[in-house]
Structure 1
Amino acid sequence: MDQDSVHMVAASKVPMLKPGEYELWRMRMEQYIQMIDYSLWEVIENGNAPPITKVVEGVETKRNTL
């Protein structure tokens, strides 16, 4: 295995959860999912439903459901 392929394997490993390091693991998992498939991350954050919009005086705005 050449040096480039070693770095590729190391970069693609999924971060593992270690006891007592949940916050660090959570941030690393967010970054990992965003790097692999950002549209998947948007579904995780916002749900799979289309955004709810409201029109007030001709202006369309997105409404938060939470």
Structure 2
Amino acid sequence: MRAEAIEHNQLEQALTLRRHYLPGEGDELDSLARALWLDKYFAERSANSVAHGIATAFNG
């Protein structure tokens, strides 16, 4: 399956993230790196938001 191939191919993952976050840019190394950074940034931001929400729910 195509999805399984993407799971095992880091270049394909980087290209997919670049297309998601930076649809107007090409597949240059800088664009791939920027997309990977954005993905990590948004994942960390989301995790921090969830942790903050849980803490607020339990502590009032």
Is the pair's TM-score, using the shorter chain for normalization, greater than 0.5?
no
Higher RCO by CA contacts (8 Å cutoff, separation 6 or greater):
2
Q: As a proportion of its length, which structure holds more helix?
A: 2
TM-score for the superposition, normalised by structure 2 = 0.29
TM-score for the superposition, normalised by structure 1 = 0.27
Greater gyration radius: 1
Q: As a proportion of its length, which structure holds more strand?
A: 1
